[in-house]
Every structure is written in C-alpha cells, then in structure tokens.
Amino acid sequence: MKLTLYYMPGTRAERVRWVLDELGLDYQVETIDLFKGEGRSAEYLAIHPLGQLPALKVHDEVMLESGAIVQWLAESVTGSDLAPVPDQPARRAFDQWMYFAVTSLEGPAWEMMLHGSILPDDLAVKAIIPFAEHRYAQALTVLAQALSGQNYLVDNRFSAADIMVGSLLAWFPDQLSPYPVLERYLYRLRQRPAYPRVPGG
C-alpha cells in the first residue's frame, strides 16, 4: 500500500502520523507549511480543497479528515489491534471516544487555540476563550472519570481512541494539572515509541 501523508508539526496530522507509526507502515511525508501559505497553493488545493491538514494519499486516492483516517487505518491494516471489531461490546466505547475526541474535546480546544494564539488580534474574539475553557474543563472531567482505575479508554487496552484523545490533550498540557489521572495518562501515551517526537507533539 503506497501512502503519502501531507503533514505539518503541531496539526491534526500528528495523530495520523502516530497511528501510521503504531502500525509500522511505510509512508512518505510531504510537509505543508500552512503559515507560509502552502495550504493555499493550487497544487495543494487539488489534494485538499479546503487547504487543511492532514490529507492521506492512498495509492492515487486522497482521504481527508484525521479522525476518519485514524479509524480507517486502525480497522483496515492487517494485524492491527487498535480497534475492536464491530461485534465486540468494547466497540461501543471505542466509537464513543472516537467521536468524543472530535466533538466534545476538540471543539472547545480548537476555539481556545484559534482565538488565543492563531488568529490576529483584529479577528480573534477573546470573549470566546473563557466559555471554551469551561467546556474544555467539562470534557476533561468526563475523561478523568472514565480513566479512573484504568490505563486506557477502551477495555483498558491502548487503541486508536487513545491516539485521538491523547493528541488533543497534548495541545494544552497545563490544563491537566487539576486532573492527575489525565497527567499520568498523557505521560503514559508519550512513552510509546510511536508517539510523535516533533515540536508541538
């Protein structure tokens, strides 16, 4: 399987790189510097029409949306143990945390990042940040409760759901100080050999 990951450190592409490395897959990396405007080039827009990251080229077809890519790889690669099969009871929890990551957790986290550090002052809406922080703290509380007494989210075994959630917790590690269980969880994930060893990762 020929794979090309369109990538930039510190973006959602890191979770795709993480799962690729967990699975031991060979892939090429094409770095797209969004801050230099490379996402808006005609060449890259032909790959990702929104100019965003990541994109994964599988042979000659392109797949978008990091959560979908992570789940597809976890389910489709022979020998993968990163996703329970659909008829297992653990599958319900797996699906729940995969969607929780991109909705309940990433939604407020992205607002905090976007309006706190990415957008210029004339476009940032600083009033959004406290409410986003509140929603993020609510999501962290739910995660902390789920991880109480266990190392991983699904059946106490490492899965793609931990990749999705852990990649987001790494955005704001200082926010985890009220939740020692989450600090230990993120530390545990960072000890994995496949964890992205890049700035912002």
Per residue in 123-179, pLDDT tens? 889 999 999 999 999 999 999 999 999 999 999 999 999 999 999 999 999 999 999
Q: How many CB atoms lie within 10 A of CB 85?
A: 9
Q: Which two tokens stand for residue 174?
A: 């200082």
Domain range 3-76, CATH architecture: 3-Layer(aba) Sandwich (3.40)
Q: Which two tokens stand for residue 146?
A: 């789920």
The mean predicted confidence, pLDDT, of the chain is: 94
Buried b (16+ CB within 10 A) or exposed e, 44-79: beebbeebbbbbbbbeeeebbbbbebbbbbbeebee
Q: Where are the domains of the chain?
A: 3-76, 90-190
Nearest to 108 by CA among 132, 143, 127: 132
**Predicted confidence (pLDDT) per residue in 61-99, tens digit:** 999 999 999 999 999 999 999 999 988 889 999 999 999
Q: Which two tokens stand for residue 37?
A: 């405007």
Largest interatomic CA distance in the chain: 51
On the question of pLDDT at 201 being above 50, the answer is no
Beta strands in the chain (DSSP E): 3-7, 28-31, 55-58, 61-64
pLDDT, average across residues 21-50? 96
DSSP-derived secondary structure letter, 154: B
**Predicted confidence (pLDDT) per residue in 163-185, tens digit:** 999 999 999 999 999 999 999 99
On the question of pLDDT at 198 being above 90, the answer is no
- 3-76 and 90-190 share one CATH topology? no
Quickly name the fold that domain 90-190 has: Glutathione S-transferase Yfyf (Class Pi); Chain A, domain 2 (1.20.1050)
